[in-house]
């Protein structure tokens, strides 16, 4: 397969159903991956990411909190690599993410007190 960077056989540690169906040895092959990804017509849906409608409020808030914590940490690490106006901008983004995190954590506490 031109341009494919996968090894000929790739072990799957998670044991997805697709991997198990690959011959019940838990390995994917380039051919199986190509077939799975190219056998269906392209989607006309422009949605790249979505959230399952069945997710409860506590789960949504917990995931939002973790996402904001990750963004805060990335901004914090990046700020130390920059100087001047760029550093100030990243620190401002860090502060906005921190405020968003506090709001989400407060909402999570109201929905599911610890």
Encoded tokens for 66? 């973790």
Q: Quick check: helix, strand or coil at residue 9?
A: strand
Place of tokens 């979505």: 50
Distance of alpha carbon 108 from alpha carbon 103, whole angstroms = 9
26 closest CA partner among 42, 37, 15, 40: 15
| Full-model pTM | 0.55
6 closest CA partner among 25, 26, 23, 28: 28
HSE (side-chain half, CA atoms, 13 Å) at 55: 12
The pLDDT tens digits of the residues spanning 31-76 come to 555 555 555 566 666 777 888 888 889 999 999 999 999 999 999 9
Measured between alpha carbons, how far apart are the two ends of the chain, in Å?
A: 52
Does position 87 have pLDDT exceeding 80, yes or no? yes
């Amino acid at each position: 397969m031109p341009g494919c960077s996968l090894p000929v056989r790739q072990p799957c540690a998670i044991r997805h159903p697709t991997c198990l169906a690959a011959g019940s040895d838990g390995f994917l092959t380039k051919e199986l991956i190509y077939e799975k990804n190219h056998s269906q017509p392209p989607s006309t849906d422009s949605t790249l990411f979505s959230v399952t409608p069945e997710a409860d409020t506590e789960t949504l808030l917990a995931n939002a909190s973790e996402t904001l914590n990750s963004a805060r940490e990335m901004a914090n690490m990046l700020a130390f690599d920059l100087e001047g106006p760029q550093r100030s901008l990243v620190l401002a983004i860090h502060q906005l993410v921190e405020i968003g995190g506090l709001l989400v954590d407060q909402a999570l506490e109201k929905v599911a007190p610890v």
